[in-house]
Amino acid sequence: MLHYALVFLVIAIIAAILGFGGIAGAAAGIAKILFVIFLILAVIAFFRRAR
């Protein structure tokens, strides 16, 4: 999941450099959502492992 977030972040950066604002914004939004999902799953896994 973190891998996909980083891929979308790289796509957003490249699109922003090339001037594709809409694609860059969409890719950055997807990267943000995937990163938040990754964080939530990581915290859940941490607490399940601790018990």
pLDDT given at position 41: 95
pLDDT given at position 45: 95
Asked if 2 contacts 32 with a C-beta cutoff of 8 angstroms, the reply is no
pLDDT given at position 35: 94
Per-residue pLDDT tens over the stretch 1-51: 789 999 999 999 999 999 999 999 999 999 999 999 999 999 999 999 987
Asked if 28 contacts 10 with a C-beta cutoff of 8 angstroms, the reply is no
